[in-house]
Structure 1
Amino acid sequence: MWGKSSLAVSQLIVISTFFLILGGCATTTGSGENAEFSNLIEKASSQYEAGLLTEAESSYRKVTALRPDYYEPWLKLGNIYVRTGQLEAAVRMFRECTELRPDDVRGWSNLSLTRLKQSLAVLDDAQQYFPSESTGAAVLRNSRESLIKNLVD
C-alpha cells in the first residue's frame, strides 16, 4: 500500500510542477502583453498631448482593437474626431463611451456638445441656400439664436 501511495504522490508532484511551469509561461506571456499594451497607451497619450492627432488616432485604434472594453481610448478618439471636424465619427466614439460606462459624465457631456456642434453646423450650412435677406435666412438665424439662447438659459 505504501508503494501505491508513493507513486500517487510522485505523480501529483509531476502534475503540480507541470501546472506551475505552465502557469509561469502564461504569466510571462501576459506580462509581456501587458507591457506592450501599456507602451501602446503611453505612445498614444504622448502623441495626443503633442497634437499628433493622426498618429494618436492610429495608436488609439490599436488599443481599442486589443481592448474594446477600455474606456479612455474611445474618449480620446472622440476628442480627436471633434478637433478634426469629423463629428459623425466623434458621435460614434462618445456613444461607445456611454455604453461602456454610462456612469461617466465625460462621455455624455462630450456627446451632447458634439451634437450641438452638429446642429450649429447644419444651420450654418443651410445659410448658403438662402439669400441673406430672405425669410429662410431669417428662420435659420432665429433657429441658431434660439439654440444658443436655450443653452445659456
Structure 2
Amino acid sequence: MKLWVIVCCCVLLSACVSTPRTSVSRPAARTRLPADNDRAEVQRTMKKAARALRDARLTDAEILYRQLTQTHPNLPEVWLRLGNVYMREAQLQAAVRTYTQGLRHDRNDGRLWYNLALARLKQSVDTLETSSKVLPADSAYRPQIRALHSALLEAGQS
C-alpha cells in the first residue's frame, strides 16, 4: 500500500512540477477570435467579464463568460477564464468540466492542463479530508489516507 501512495504522489507531482502555481492569462492575441464583425463585441465582453472577475463580482463574470461559451464555444480563453471563476467559487466539478471543454478546442493550452490538474488535486484533497471525518478512528485505511493527504498537500505547494 505504501508503494501505491508513492506512485500516486509521483504522478501528481510530475503533472505540476514545471508549471507556475498561478493561472496566467495570455494576451488577447493568443485567443482565436471570431470574424471581424464579432471581434469587437467579443473583446468588449471579455474585458467586462475580466473586470468583474478582478473586482470579485464572480456571478457577473460567470454570466458573461457563459454567454461567450454559448456564442463562441471555440475560444479556449473563455473556457479557461470561466473555469477560473468556478475555482474561485470552489465549484470544482464545474471547473473540471469547463477546463476539459476548453481542451477540446485547444489540446496544446498548458494553462488549461495545469488548471485542470489543480482542480483535480483540490478534489482529491477534499475527498481525503471528508474520508477522515467519516471513517471510524480504528479504520485500517486511516494511515494511508493521512499519508496520501499529506503528500497531496505537499504536491500542491510545489
Structure with greater helix share of residues: 1
Q: 1: CA distance between counterparts of 2:122 and 2:39?
A: 38
1:76 equivalenced with 2:81 (yes/no): yes
> Which residue, 91, 96, 115 being the options, matches 2:120?
115
- Answering whether residue 130 of structure 2 is matched by residue 128 of structure 1, we say no
Matches within 5 A, 1:1-153: 33-132=38-137, 134-148=139-153
Unaligned runs of 5+ in 1: 1-29
Contact 2:99–2:113 (8 Å) recurs in 1: yes
Specify the code of the residue in structure 1 equivalent to 2:56: G
By how many angstroms is 1:107 displaced?
Answer: 0.6
Higher relative contact order (Cα pairs below 8 Å, separated by 6+ residues)? 2
Task: Give % identity.
Answer: 34
- Against the structure 1 CA distance between its residues 152 and 41, is the aligned structure 2 distance closer, same or farther, given a 3 Å change threshold? closer
Which TM-score applies when normalising by structure 1? 0.70
Distance 2:92 2:83 in 1: 8
TM-score, reference length from structure 2: 0.68
Once residues 52 and 74 of structure 1 are traced to their aligned partners in structure 2, the CA distance between those partners, rounded to angstroms, is 18
Q: CA deviation at 1:31?
A: 6.1
- Length, aligned pairs only: 124
**C-alpha distance in structure 2 between counterparts of 1:77 and 1:152, whole Å:** 24
